[in-house]
A and B are shown apart, each in its own frame.
Chain A
Amino acid sequence: MIGAEGLGKRFGERTALRDVTFAVHPGERVAVIGPNGAGKTTLLSLLGGVLPPSDGRVQAPAALGWVPQQPAVYRKLSVRENLELFARLEGVGEPDAAVERMLDQTGLRDRAGDELGRLSGGNQQRVNIAVGLLSDPEVLLLDEPSSSLDPLQRARLWEFLDAMRTTILFTTHEVSEAERHADRVLVLADGDLVFTGSPGELHRAVGDESEGFEAAFVRFLRERGH
């Protein structure tokens, strides 16, 4: 399980996140949505241990996979070399086996020897996620996993993620992705957690289930002054 209790983060005078409390249960897929600057990436960085919190605390398992928004892999190394390197740095028990498993899981076995810089954005993001999965984590944190991908690459990426059984917490500014792939959404606005529930519950919260999810989300924020 992963969660936060009274979590806050300040950068100097600016408060990026304020008193955020939630819990994600095993096997659940949770999307963190909100306008730009709402604090989505900050929340994920705090959960992933990349940033220390200013207030509150994080509950996270030891085996936690963290996948940043931009592919955090080496473009001059091949797919296999990247996976081998991070498997060794992660201290994975059987690095070679973990690499083989990830090559199968990502469907990139035939591109294993290619330098990462020569792969498409979608395939680079697959490797980026595979690195996060090398240690077989209980929870995978994904920061805007599809932000730089075209629609086809995005569809392939979600096929790959949907096939996984790991607990996933992801941020996205594509609210349709949250509706389609998340069991639950956390809505952040100006550093505050303003909604926790399923996409259907968000619809119901604005009182008009006939309109699309994106329109409901925008109305929800406007009604609350964001």
Chain B
Amino acid sequence: MRWLLQKDLRILRRSPLLVGLLVAYAVGVGLAVAVALDDTPDKPRVAFVNEVGDDGGEFSVGGQTFDAASYAGELFKSIEPVPVDTRQEAVELVRRGEVLGALIVPEDVVDRLQDTINLAGSGERPTLEVLYNAEDPLKTAEVQSRIDARLADANKALSDQLTKVAAGYLDILLRGGEFSILGRQFTVLGLQNTERILRAVAADLPRGSGDRQALERIIRFASLAVSNLDIARPVLQTVGTPLAVKQTIVQGADTPLEDFFLAIAVTLSLMFVAVLLGAGMLALEREEHTFGRLVRGLASRTTLVVEKVLLAALCAGAATVLMTIVVALVYELDWARAPLWLLAIAVAAIAFGAMGVAIGALARDVRAASLLAFLLALPVAFLALIPSGAVSASLYDVVSVVSALFPFDPALDAANNALTGGEPGMAGPLAHLAALVAGHGVLARLALRRFG
């Protein structure tokens, strides 16, 4: 096997175009990933038009004054605002792709907010305008989800503030206290004090008298009001946030998008190099007519299968490590996890190599093997990336079974887990890959029986 491996490496060294393409491919993918990761802003750029102006952004609730700008700040937590003066400028920026979207705060938003709070005006809710560039559905979806999330946060912050003010009113109504409206101070007696005073007055009236009975009815009302208003505060808080959300990940890891992107790049790079090389180098033995000579006692078919799998894995692994190093120049990797990456890359490279060799054993020449490898690799990657819920349950079951027959899906899981350390860990994907190595190896060995 050593001599065969040495021979194949020598042949590859003398095929500069092929090796150049493979290295360029791996480095190219690495550079593309690196540039993409480096260029991905933490917050998407969104044009921001504030038509309200600096001095018109205040509204009052129950004598308290609030700055609308403090709620707009919620919107900027996950987007990078690009301030522009007019709606037209914002539209231009979106159209040219310089920003992913635009957020327009209209001039009348604060007035409408004030009217809504005061239960006055036309009753129209204050409305913010969001513009998207829908040429790229992925970008649109990202901007939409980020702005929607931030608007929900802003609404909640405002709602919390209004709830707080309303709760203050209730407190004064219940227990009494000072109250300010239109610049004038009022002292409110409060329902509890009212009930206490009324009870004292009722005690001085003769039992059974008409005045006492009337007063006792008012006391019962006050008592009932005190009891019910006492629970009004938690009810108000519940209305402000009717649903609390507890998020639990049932399957898969909470992987940062950048890490997942890198895992896909690693898996794709491994797959194309290993599958194409494994298929091509085995088919080359037949194209060169050396296969018959080799299996006539010089090397068994099993030895040839193992040797080609190792060759493909070695080259694909080296190319992928090179790609990862290129990515590491710009993207911070957790080097403490390097042994796990290498393990994932090694096992996945062997599995892809076995898949390639099985393809090479089925085809009769290098061109057919390469074409078959390419035609099979693309849909395999595509199927493995279909998320559950994107298709019907029965179709997803079929997709899952088909994906499980090829190494892309478990290799992606292994790479992902190696990068992030997420659950369910690497044991499952590695065992799956090992089973595929055996399966594809046996398939290749059986297919080679056809050739002498």
* Residues of A bordering B, CB below 8 Å: 45, 48-51, 66, 68, 70-77, 81, 85-86, 88-90, 115, 131
Contacts and interface: CB of A to CB of B under 8 A. Distances in A.
B296 interface: yes
Interface string B277-309: 000000000001110111111110000000000
A77 B289 contact: no
Given A77-B10, A89-B3, A51 B293 contact: no
A74 B298 contact: no
A85 B3 contact: yes
A76 B289 contact: no
B378 interface: no
B14 to A, nearest CB: 5
Nearest to A45: B452
Contact of B296 (A48, A77, A81, A85): A48
Given A49-B297, A50-B295, A89-B298, A70 B289 contact: yes
B11 interface: yes
Given A73-B288, A77-B11, A50 B3 contact: no
Nearest to B2: A88
Interface string B428-452: 0000000000000000000000001
Contacts of A88: 3
A50 B10 contact: no
The range of chain B's interface size is: 10 to 19
Contacts of A48: 296
22 contacts: A45-B292, A45-B452, A49-B297, A50-B295, A51-B452, A66-B296, A68-B292, A70-B289, A71-B289, A72-B288, A72-B293, A74-B11, A76-B11, A77-B11, A77-B14, A81-B10, A86-B293, A88-B3, A89-B4, A89-B298, A90-B298, A115-B14
B7 interface: yes
Most chain B CB within 10 A, of A51, A70, A89, is at A89
Contacts of B298: 86, 89-90
A162 B289 CA distance: 25
Nearest to A116: B288
B7 A74 contact: yes
Given A45-B452, A115-B14, A75 B296 contact: no
Contacts of B7: 74, 77, 81, 85
Given A81-B10, A85-B3, A85-B7, A49 B288 contact: no
A75 B289 CA distance: 11
A73 B287 CA distance: 10
A77 B11 CA distance: 7
B62 to A, nearest CB: 87
Contacts of A81: 7, 10
A107 to B, nearest CB: 22
Given A49-B296, A66-B293, A76-B10, 13 more contacts: A50-B452, A72-B288, A72-B292, A73-B288, A74-B11, A74-B288, A74-B290, A75-B288, A76-B11, A77-B7, A77-B14, A89-B294, A115-B14
A35 B11 CA distance: 38
Contacts of B289: 68, 70-72
B247 interface: no
B122 interface: no
B146 to A, nearest CB: 54
A147 B255 CA distance: 63
A86 B296 CA distance: 12
B187 interface: no
A117 to B, nearest CB: 10
A76 B452 contact: no
Contact of B14 (A50, A66, A76, A90): A76
**Smallest CB-CB A-B distances: 5 pairs:** A72-B289, A72-B293, A89-B298, A70-B289, A76-B11
B15 interface: yes
A12 to B, nearest CB: 12
A71 B293 CA distance: 10
Interface in B1-48: 3-4, 7, 10-11, 14-15
Contact of B15 (A68, A73, A76): A76
A85 B3 CA distance: 7
A89 B293 CA distance: 11
Nearest to B3: A88
Nearest to A62: B297
Contacts of A75: 288
Contacts of A66: 293, 296
A81 B8 CA distance: 12
Contacts of A90: 298
A60 to B, nearest CB: 11
Contacts of B288: 72-75
Interface string B296-330: 11110000000000000000000000000000000
B292 A50 contact: yes
Contacts of A74: 7, 11, 288, 290
Contacts of B452: 45, 50-51
Contacts of A49: 296-297
A146 to B, nearest CB: 16
Contacts of A89: 3-4, 294, 298-299
B22 to A, nearest CB: 16
A50 B11 contact: no
B307 to A, nearest CB: 12
A86 B288 CA distance: 14
Most chain B CB within 10 A, of A49, A66, A72, is at A72
Given A45-B452, A115-B14, A72 B295 contact: no
Contacts of B297: 49
Contacts of A115: 14
B268 to A, nearest CB: 28
Contacts of B294: 89
A72 B3 contact: no
A130 to B, nearest CB: 13
A143 B256 CA distance: 62
A90 B298 CA distance: 6
